[in-house]
Amino acid sequence: MRNFDIQSIKQRFGIIGNSQLLNHAIQVAVQVAPTDMTVLITGESGSGKESFSKIIHQLSPRKHGQFIAINCGAIPEGTIDSELFGHEKGSFTGAQESRKGYFEVTDGGTIFLDEIGEMPLGTQARLLRVLENGEFIKVGSSKVQKTDVRVVAATNVNLINAVEKGKFREDLYYRLNTVPITVPALRERGDDIYLLFRKFAADFSEKYKVKPITLTPEAVQKLIGFRFPGNIRQLKNMVEQISVLEYEREVNGDKLQEYLPQDQMNTLPALLAKEHGSEHNFSERDLLYKVLFDMRRDMSELKKLVFDMITHQPNDEELLKEHSHLFENIEQKAYSSNGRSYQQKEQVHKEPYYLPVKHAQVQDYDEQKVEDIPHEYEEESLLLEDKEKELILKALKKHNNKRKYAAQDLGISERTLYRKLKQYDIED
């Protein structure tokens, strides 16, 4: 496809950016659009997957038919079959009249199934029949109906991983994945981040009748270097905040830093993400692993600090021998005090980590014996389940028990949060 054609597609559908990954995804969408092939769009939440479904529909022969976008993760498991395939009167409690489902209403058009990985297994079997034969049965009916609908699906999880865990049908995965399109995360698009910033700044300038926000060169570098786990949605929200709150319309690096969440400055190692495979699992466990890594780093630094303090006090050799189990993982070749030396070899740490609760007397260290300083410790649980439950409780408290916003804060779907609440017996 010629570059001119790609640019015209971007203008038509409001897509900003020039990265190669983005251009390739657009090219695949344009090439597959005239066909009736099923398409699976993968990408992180907030990366703009719905825009590609609209490209496929608008450039297809079905463009005059209906287009419906459905978030599978937002529909309760008990009603999703009725929503998609319809139901007969009296088929369940509350079904006071017959209702057409989306697959019947959208006959001749396109259905965009977002968060397809959240679809229940029973509904997956019904969807597979539609894809294979164009047939479906309403809830509470025995009559087979026909429909001619093109399905475009999207997910932010690794469906192969979900198949291996028995959470997604393998036959449905291969039926959906006829043509895969991968939408790049915002952090993979380089200079596109700044282009989007300028676009949003201009939009909010017009909306709020203020001068557009601009960035200093230092701020631009900080912006491009940020990981943006919420992708385009997060960037847009940030630009809106700055446009409304800042009096100075030129923002420097330090001021921009105030709008970049500190706990999202660094990503986890790439090896870790590959090891777990699933984007969905990564989003749930990202915070948990970060807490554990930070805890271990902080504990190591604390132990080294105490170790250094002890080695500069009288009777250091006796103290080190008495408390040697606390410093087994600190590599120190030799420390000397009052003419004596103490040799510490690096060993594999086998003891649990402990966090000091009280340390008020540390300031009077020079006036007391080490034995006189109170040492009260409490064991910190490092179980992933405990940390996950703790983060869920914090998110619910932060958002006044509103599941929707708590789930967004945790980086998981509302359905997954509901399942976690049941798993940990949390009353919200």
Instruction: Examine the domain organization and report whether 46 and 139 are in the same domain.
Output: yes
pLDDT in tens, 43-81: 999 999 999 999 999 999 999 999 999 999 899 888 899
Whether 247 shows a pLDDT value over 80: the answer reads yes
Instruction: Examine the domain organization and report whether 248 and 389 are in the same domain.
Output: no
Domain span including residue 218: 187-264
Average pLDDT in the chain: 80
Q: Return the minimum-mean-pLDDT range out of 217-226, 250-259, 264-273.
A: 264-273
Instruction: Examine the domain organization and report whether 110 and 146 are in the same domain.
Output: yes
Whether 336 shows a pLDDT value over 60: the answer reads no
Instruction: Examine the domain organization and report whether 37 and 166 are in the same domain.
Output: yes
Domain harbouring 218, CATH code: 1.10.8.60
How many domains is the chain partitioned into structurally?
A: 4
User: Regarding predicted confidence, which is higher, 256 or 292?
Assistant: 256
* Range of 95-99, 103-107, 325-329, 368-372 with top mean pLDDT: 103-107
Boundary of a domain, candidates 150, 165, 184: 184
In the structure encoding, which two tokens stand for residue 38, read together?
């099923």
Q: Is residue 417 part of a domain?
A: yes
Q: Is residue 270 part of a domain?
A: no
Residue type, 412: I
Instruction: Examine the domain organization and report whether 39 and 179 are in the same domain.
Output: yes
Instruction: Examine the domain organization and report whether 7 and 121 are in the same domain.
Output: yes
Boundary of a domain, candidates 184, 208, 233: 184
Instruction: Examine the domain organization and report whether 370 and 392 are in the same domain.
Output: no
pTM above 0.85, yes or no: no
Give the ranges where 246-344 is alpha helix by DSSP (H). Answer: 253-257, 270-276, 279-310, 316-322
Instruction: Examine the domain organization and report whether 168 and 66 are in the same domain.
Output: yes
Residue 255: the pLDDT is 93
Boundary of a domain, candidates 184, 204, 238: 184
Q: Is residue 133 part of a domain?
A: yes
Q: Is residue 349 part of a domain?
A: yes
Q: Is residue 306 part of a domain?
A: yes
Q: Is residue 174 part of a domain?
A: yes
| 323 band by pLDDT with thresholds 50, 70 and 90 | low
Average pLDDT for 266-280: 42
Q: Is residue 269 part of a domain?
A: no
Q: Is residue 300 part of a domain?
A: yes
Average pLDDT for 280-290: 53
Q: Which residue in 299, 290, 287 sits closest to 394, CA to CA?
A: 287
Instruction: Examine the domain organization and report whether 281 and 235 are in the same domain.
Output: no
Instruction: Examine the domain organization and report whether 146 and 214 are in the same domain.
Output: no
Residue 179 sits at φ, ψ, to 5 deg, of -130, 110
Residue 389: the pLDDT is 83
Instruction: Examine the domain organization and report whether 176 and 310 are in the same domain.
Output: no
Instruction: Quote the percentage of the chain above a pLDDT of 90.
Output: 52
Give the largest Cα separation in the chain, rounded.
Answer: 94
Beta bridge partners of 321: none
Instruction: Examine the domain organization and report whether 80 and 154 are in the same domain.
Output: yes
| 271 band by pLDDT with thresholds 50, 70 and 90 | very low
Cβ partners under 8 Å of residue 342, min gap 6: 311, 316, 317, 320, 334, 335, 336
